[in-house]
Amino acid sequence: MSWTHAPVQAEDHMNKKTLVQKLVEVDSPSGKETEVAQLLTQEMNERGFETHMDEVGNAIGVIGQGDQYIFLVGHMDTVSGKIPVRVEDNTLYGRGSVDAKGCLATFIEAAAAFKDSTKLKLTVIGCIDEEDDSQGAKHLLKTHDGANVKAVIIGEPSGWSAVTLGYKGSFSVLFELVKPRTHRGADQTTPTEDAVSFYNQLCAAYPDHGAGFDQVGINLIAINSEFQNNHEAVDLHLNIRTPLDFDLDQFLEKAHSFAGPAGVQRTFFVPAVLGDKRNKLVRSFLSAIRAEDVRPVFKRKTGTSDMNLLNAWECPILAYGPGDSSLDHTPNEHLNLDDYERAIRVLTHALKQMEMNL
C-alpha cells in the first residue's frame, strides 16, 4: 500500500463547483470506476489528504492529525444511462450529480478544512459497486473492524437540511421453471402462467405490501420465457424491500411453497437499518443545520445503501448529502449548486461540533 501526499492548494467558490462537475463528467457505471477513482485520489491529494486505492478499487483519503476516527463513506459508481453534463441556472445536470458524486465532493471539500486538526482523523472513501452488489463496502467490513471508528457518515442525498437515519433492507428472488412443451389446447398451465401465479400468491401473502418504510416491497423486475428444444422455460426476477421486523425465513418458506417444482434462489440479504437519534453525531448535524436558519428534518428511506452494511461497526451512523433523492436514477438527475455549497457548510460545521465534543 503506497501513500502520497501533496500540499494543500487554496480553493475558491468556483473550484468547489468544479470538483463536483469534474466527478460528474467522468462516466462511472458500476464496474467501471477506475477513472473516477483516480480523479478522486488526485483531487484529495491536492487538498492535503494522504491517498491510496485499496485492493478492490475503493478510493481512500485520510486527513487530520488526531486519534478520533470519523469515516465519510460515499460511492463512485452510478447506474447506467448517460445524461449530457451541463450547468444551467446554477444547477448541474448529469448522471451521478445527486446519486452520489455531489455527496462525495461535499465530503472532500468539508474534510479538507481539518488538515491541521489535532483531534480528528477523517477518512473519506469513494466505494465501488454500491449500485450493484456493494463489493466496496463489503471489502471495508473485511479490512476494518470498526473498533476505533467514532462515527460514520454515509454519502447519500438527504437534502442539505435533512439527515437520513433509516433504510429498508433488500434482496432479490429468482424463480426458474422448465417444463415439457404442450399443445396450447391442453389443460395444463404454461411455465409463464406458473410464474405469474407465483408472483400473485406472494403478493397475496403480504396484503399490505408497498413502498412504505414499514411495508414489504415486492417489485417485479423482469419475466422472460423461451422455448428450449422440446421444453418451455421461464425465469422471473423480483426485488424485495424489507422493513425492520422482516422475517426472512418465513418469507422463504412461503416462496418455496408457492413455487412448487420451480427453483427459487435468493441473493445476499441486506437487513434494514434505523440509526439512533440520540448521539453526538446527530446532535452535531442538527446544530449545523439550525445554524443555516432552517429546521432540520429526519428521513427514513425506502431504498437501500451502504449504511445497511456499515451499521455493523456499531457506532453512530447517518446518511447526509445534497440533492433530491427522488431524482436518483432518473433521466433528469440534477443538483442545485447553491444547495451543494450549503451542504459543505453544514458538514464542516457538524465536523467542528464533533471535534469539540468527542
Please say which residue of 266, 294, 310 terminates a domain.
266
Where do we find the cell 433492507? 169
Confirm if 65 and 311 have CB atoms less than 8 A apart.
Answer: no
Within 8 A by CB and 6+ apart from 43, the residues are 19, 22, 108
Handedness of CA 65, 116, 16, 316 (dihedral sign): positive
The Cα 116–Cα 124 span in angstroms is: 16
Instruction: Identify whether residues 253 and 119 lie together within a single domain.
Output: no
Residue 89, helix vs strand vs coil: coil
Report if residue 207 sits inside a domain: yes
Q: Of these residues, 33, 43, 77, 328, which one is catalytic?
A: 77
Mean predicted lDDT score pLDDT of the chain: 94
Quickly state the pLDDT bin for 9 (edges 50, 70, 90): very low
2 has pLDDT over 90: no
Residue 214 bears catalytic tag: no
Instruction: Identify whether residues 203 and 285 lie together within a single domain.
Output: no
pLDDT at 18: 77
Instruction: Identify whether residues 36 and 108 lie together within a single domain.
Output: yes
pTM of the complete model: 0.91
Instruction: Identify whether residues 313 and 251 lie together within a single domain.
Output: no
Instruction: Identify whether residues 244 and 278 lie together within a single domain.
Output: no
What are the pLDDT digits (tens) for 27-44? 999 999 999 999 999 999
Report if residue 130 sits inside a domain: yes
Of the candidates 343, 344, 351, the residue with the CA atom closest to the CA atom of residue 162: 343
Instruction: Identify whether residues 285 and 261 lie together within a single domain.
Output: no
CATH of the domain at 194: 3.30.70.360
Within 8 A by CB and 6+ apart from 53, the residues are 37, 38, 41, 59, 60
DSSP calls for 160-190? TTEEEEEE-EEEEEEEEEEEE---TTSS---
Buried b (16+ CB within 10 A) or exposed e, 231-261: ebebbbebbbbbbeebeeeebeeebeebbee
Q: Which of residues 294 and 7 earns the better pLDDT score? A: 294
Residue 50 bears catalytic tag: no
- The strand pairing partners of 86, in sequence order, are 93
Grid coordinates belonging to 187: 389443460
CATH of the domain at 122: 3.40.630.10
Please say which residue of 230, 246, 266 terminates a domain.
266
What is the mean predicted confidence (pLDDT) over 96-121? 98
Give the least confident one: 28-32, 84-88, 92-96, 181-185: 181-185
What are the pLDDT digits (tens) for 130-155? 999 999 999 999 999 999 999 999 99
Report if residue 5 sits inside a domain: no
Where do we find the cell 416462496? 255
What is the mean predicted confidence (pLDDT) over 48-70? 98
Share of the chain above pLDDT 70, in %: 95
Report if residue 334 sits inside a domain: yes
Q: What are phi and psi of 103, to 5 degrees?
A: -70, -45
What is the mean predicted confidence (pLDDT) over 37-61? 98
Burial of 356 (0-12, 13-18, 19+ CB in 10 A): exposed
Instruction: Identify whether residues 107 and 250 lie together within a single domain.
Output: no
Give the least confident one: 8-17, 86-95, 208-217: 8-17
3 has pLDDT over 70: no
Instruction: Identify whether residues 350 and 204 lie together within a single domain.
Output: no
What are the pLDDT digits (tens) for 159-194? 999 999 999 999 999 999 999 988 777 778 999 999
93 has pLDDT over 60: yes
- Over 209-273, what HEC string results? CCCCCCCCEEEEEEEEEEEECCEEEEEEEEEEEECCCCCHHHHHHHHHHHHCCCEEEECCCECCE
DSSP calls for 22-70? HHHHS--BTT--HHHHHHHHHHHHHTT-EEEE-TT--EEEEE-SSSEEE
Instruction: Identify whether residues 316 and 303 lie together within a single domain.
Output: yes
Report if residue 7 sits inside a domain: no
Instruction: Identify whether residues 158 and 21 lie together within a single domain.
Output: yes
Report if residue 2 sits inside a domain: no
What are the pLDDT digits (tens) for 202-239? 999 999 999 999 999 999 999 999 999 899 999 999 99
pLDDT at 7: 39
Q: Of these residues, 129, 130, 306, 355, which one is catalytic?
A: 130
pLDDT at 211: 94
318 has pLDDT over 60: yes
Grid coordinates belonging to 237: 426476477
pLDDT at 65: 96
pLDDT at 183: 75
Quickly state the pLDDT bin for 20 (edges 50, 70, 90): very high
Please say which residue of 202, 235, 266 terminates a domain.
266
What are the pLDDT digits (tens) for 333-355? 999 999 999 999 999 999 999 99
Report if residue 328 sits inside a domain: yes
Instruction: Identify whether residues 150 and 294 lie together within a single domain.
Output: yes
What is the mean predicted confidence (pLDDT) over 78-99? 97
295 has pLDDT over 50: yes
Instruction: Identify whether residues 162 and 287 lie together within a single domain.
Output: yes
Q: In what order do the strands lie in the sheet with 263-266?
A: 217-228, 231-242, 169-180, 263-266
Quickly state the pLDDT bin for 17 (edges 50, 70, 90): low
Share of the chain above pLDDT 90, in %: 92
Report if residue 350 sits inside a domain: yes
Burial of 163 (0-12, 13-18, 19+ CB in 10 A): buried
What is the domain extent for residue 259? 169-266
Q: How many domains in the chain?
A: 2
Q: Which of residues 11 and 160 earns the better pLDDT score? A: 160
Confirm if 203 and 195 have CB atoms less than 8 A apart.
Answer: no
